[in-house]
Amino acid sequence: MESIYDIIKQITLADEAARRAARRQWDSLAKPLGSLGVFEDMIAKLAALKGDTDVRMDDRRLLVFCADNGVVRQGVTQCESDVTAKVAVALAENRSSVSPMARYANCRVIPADVGMLDFPGHKDVLDRRVRNGTDDLSLGPAMTRDECLAAMLSGAKLARENAADGADILLIGEMGIGNTTSSSAVICSLLGLDPADVVGRGAGLSASGLARKREVIRRALALNKPDPTDAVDVLTKVGGLDLAAMCGAYLGAAACNTPAVIDGFISAAAALCATLLCPAAEKALFPSHNSGERRGAAVLDVFDLAAPLCAEMRLGEGGGAVMLLPLLDMALLLYRSGQSFDRLGIEAYTPQE
């Protein structure tokens, strides 16, 4: 029976020759060298991932992993767990916050249930359930290790299925009330940080609510003692089903040489877990924005990724990832334009000290 570790073994290194060729193509264009900054890096990285300078991004899909977190019982959120299912249905019916943005960006939205609480099902929400929400991580492990691995495998398979179906780029999003608590706990554990340095207000908390959220995470870390050298152990003990599935999706995308866009704080936590399990998976990771949550940018710094957007966003649902697409589209237009120095009769720029 296939496991997430079998998928990890399929992840290869990026094609550096293709990256260099894409750089040469950028440098041939009649503009100052490197003048599109991080967007030139991203297009070259796409070429390295695909092993081809003919970069395509026509078929784009947003995978939104939906699950509930038992820690909500500790009063760490402004709303109750039933909001997760309501937003998942709105995603399926194209009436959630991210829906008009996705339509503009020509991006298909695919919600998947990996563990929403008492969710009755919906014809347009994929059923990838592992269990009925997680346990309260402040009282014990959020799930079993086998359940965590099952959620990871579910995410990896969904990424692989969409890649095989023709997706050129995958965006990885989430919906799960309470998941800024679980993702903060994961980041605190993996990076050895205090909750006061990481934990923000999430979808909106009062000062007392924020203090309670930080204390809940401290208690969870002290009780569960997750092993920071084992990302699966951390996800099992203080993570969530959505986080585990997202981590798997990044690994699955990397195994298929398909780019996967990181949304914000929560998906960055999942991406961090993926790179700890397989450093080569970084080749498929494309950050969209520096989250408005505390330490959002610092998480990306761990695997040396620069996000092009810095707008204090914290929407969730993959909204920041979708906002990256029109900017990448414009970069690709220039990359493919053929407006070379020779064509315009301009002397080429050369590297200067």
How many beta carbons lie within 10 A of that of residue 161, not counting itself?
A: 15
**Residue 142 token pair:** 């959020």
Q: What are the Cα distances from residue 23, in Å, to 27, 110, 150?
A: 6, 33, 40
317 is catalytic: yes
- Rounded CA-CA distance 148/141 in Å is 11
SS3 94: coil
Q: In what order do the strands lie in the sheet with 126-127?
A: 126-127, 107-115, 60-67, 169-175, 260-262, 285-287
Contact 142, 242 (CB under 8 A): no
Contact 266, 289 (CB under 8 A): no
Residue among 40, 174, 282, 317 flagged as catalytic:
317
Among 324, 292, 256, smallest CA distance to 38 is for 324
111-123 burial string, b = 16+ CB within 10 Å, else e? bbbbbbbebeebe
Contact 146, 241 (CB under 8 A): no
Write the CB contacts of 277 (distance below 8 Å, at least 6 apart in sequence). Answer: 8, 231, 232, 247, 251
Write the CB contacts of 103 (distance below 8 Å, at least 6 apart in sequence). Answer: 94
Contact 322, 107 (CB under 8 A): yes
Query: Mind telling me the catalytic residues?
Result: 317
